[in-house]
Structure 1
Amino acid sequence: MSALEPDARAWLEAQGFAVTNETPWIEALTHGSFNGAGGEATDYQRLEFLGDRVLGLSVASWLYRAGDGPEGKLSQRLNALVSGATCARIARNIDLPAHIRLGKQARDDGGADSDKILGDVMEALIGACFIENGFDAAQRMVYRLWTRELEGDVGKAKHPKSALQEWAAGNKRAVPHYEVVERSGPDHAARFTVRVSVRNVGEAEASASSKGEAERLAAKAFLEEYG
């Protein structure tokens, strides 16, 4: 496997990641479309799997200690704080897009700005931190990077899909119906357009880089129009 690029290593260390063995960090920054000089095919997926669990446990622990809200409210905030959209936003905040190893086609297709890829790589970096430095160090890193989100209002408001369902029930309307009306772009930079409708009321559409986010935005748009 090739060596970690000097600027990538300097960037990682500037973010607070302690790099000793370069291998997990190279893997964390490598998309499946990338083929280096050595022909390596290892990518971030296994580390993403691990980092997702480390992130979830770290955030859940913080929420438990931070307040006495009911389980439902804690779950609502947890889901928002560890979502792909939040991970991608934090990735952009620390200039991660510039350091992802992508194949030419994936980069040309906008892979470096894909919420899906950015969120996955952010989780993979947390996984690499866990492998290199243990859970406590990875948890501290999560708390540092997620400070604004943890101390802010992310996830405190009711999810638009839940709010829309409650609105429909409260107004004796049919259950909201969601459908994907368009999917465009390659898998690593897909774009989904979702339509939500409530019979005898109306409909709204929204687009995003994931089906779930498009559904959320469509529900939000519906409530703004008809709620």
Structure 2
Amino acid sequence: MSRPIRKREKNIGVKQKLKFQELQNRLGIHFTDENILYQAFTHSSYVNEHRIKSSEDNERLEFLGDAVLELTVSQYLFKNFPAMSEGDLTKLRAAIVCEPSLVNFAHQLSFGDYVLLGKGEELTGGRTRPALLADVFEAFIGALYLDQGLDKVIDFLQVTIYPKISEGAFSHVMDYKSQLQEIVQRSGQGSLEYLIVQEKGPAHNREFVSKVLLNDEILGTGIGKSKKEAEQKAAKQALDKIKSEKGTL
């Protein structure tokens, strides 16, 4: 075992190690090499304060995790949105792997509670700093990839990220109407029609209900803060219906 690993272990106390054990238990992921897990949560300020080699912080793992995350998200989008154009796939992937999204993922997993920080960084609120949390999430992905491989990363994302994509968390960049139109045109089934069937709520908090029809048959219903959002959600429901009935988008 190399000197940097031994020194890093020495500077991680029993209490910190127990916290990392709790994290692994909570995630249902147990690292073969726990040192790489520690490194994923080690900020440069901690390394500097404890005079550990700079290569022992999480920046290299962040670099790797960024690439792994982009690959795995790209693969998921490619398989699950076959009607989506290259440009729309790129926009959707960018929304999923951007800093605000990664921060949300890190928050949901309470990753900030486990970051190893120097005292100065701790006192200035580093534990909740968005850029730091986004970096930690990417570093964790990199560490998981090195320790257990790509399939385990995908298993992790199937719990943390993929369901949010499926649920429409990134619908603001997804053009479900175009996808639905493409499917209908390709199959020659007829023409689509969107109807706003209800408007409710006060003027400052309006909600719209939209239905999408194919040859007078209702395919989907959506509710949104704008007519456009309601129509997009109606189109998504229609796509989900088509997928469940035919086993394909």
Q: Does 1:57 align with 2:71?
A: yes
Letter in structure 1 aligned against 2:29 = F
Unaligned runs of at least 5 residues, structure 2:
1-7, 175-249
Quote how far apart the aligned CAs of 1:10 are: 1.8
Quote how far apart the aligned CAs of 1:26 are: 1.0
Letter in structure 1 aligned against 2:157 = V
Q: Is the 8 A contact 2:95 2:173 kept in 1?
A: no
Alignment match of 1:114 (pick from 129, 137, 154): 129
Q: Is the 8 A contact 2:127 2:133 kept in 1?
A: yes
**Aligned mates of 1:72, 1:37 — CA distance in 2:** 45
Quote how far apart the aligned CAs of 1:7 are: 1.4
1:219 aligned residue:
none
Identity of aligned residues (%): 26
Quote how far apart the aligned CAs of 1:39 are: 3.3
CA offsets, 1:123-163, max 9 Å, x none?
1001110010011111211221113422133443249xxxx
Write the mapping of 1:117-196 to structure 2, written as runs, cut at 5 A: 117-158=132-173
Letter in structure 2 aligned against 1:85 = P
Q: Secondary structure at the match of 1:34?
A: helix
Greater C-alpha Rg: 2
Q: Secondary structure at the match of 2:44?
A: coil
**Aligned mates of 1:76, 1:16 — CA distance in 2:** 32
Letter in structure 2 aligned against 1:17 = I
1:179 aligned residue:
none
CA offsets, 1:161-212, max 9 Å, x none?
xxxxxxxxxxxxxxxxxxxxxxxxxxxxxxxxxxxxxxxxxxxxxxxxxxxx
**Aligned mates of 2:155, 2:76 — CA distance in 1:** 11
2:45 aligned residue:
33
Letter in structure 1 aligned against 2:97 = V
CA offsets, 1:87-130, max 9 Å, x none?
11011101111100011111111111111000000010011100
Quote how far apart the aligned CAs of 1:76 are: 0.8
1:87 aligned residue:
102
Q: Is the 8 A contact 1:19 1:132 kept in 2?
A: yes
1:78 aligned residue:
93
Q: Is the 8 A contact 2:41 2:115 kept in 1?
A: yes
Q: Secondary structure at the match of 1:5?
A: helix
Judged with a 3 Å threshold, the aligned counterparts in structure 2 of structure 1 residues 27 and 47 are, in CA distance, closer, same or farther, namely same
**Aligned mates of 2:117, 2:43 — CA distance in 1:** 5
Unaligned runs of at least 5 residues, structure 1:
160-227
Letter in structure 1 aligned against 2:103 = A
Q: Is the 8 A contact 1:51 1:124 kept in 2?
A: yes
2:223 aligned residue:
none
Letter in structure 2 aligned against 1:89 = N
- Number of corresponding residues: 159
**Aligned mates of 2:116, 2:158 — CA distance in 1:** 26
Quote how far apart the aligned CAs of 1:37 are: 8.9
Regions of 4+ moved over 3 Å = 35-39
**By percentage of residues, which structure has more helix?**
2
After TM superposition, the score normalised by the length of structure 1 is: 0.65
Write the mapping of 1:95-106 to structure 2, written as runs, cut at 5 A: 95-106=110-121
Alignment match of 1:9 (pick from 21, 28, 31): 21
Letter in structure 2 aligned against 1:142 = L
CA RMSD, Structure 1 to Structure 2 (Å): 2.0
**Which is bigger in relative contact order (C-alpha 8 A, separation at least 6)?**
1
1:19 aligned residue:
31
**Aligned mates of 2:28, 2:139 — CA distance in 1:** 15
Q: Is the 8 A contact 1:80 1:86 kept in 2?
A: yes
Q: Is the 8 A contact 1:81 1:149 kept in 2?
A: no
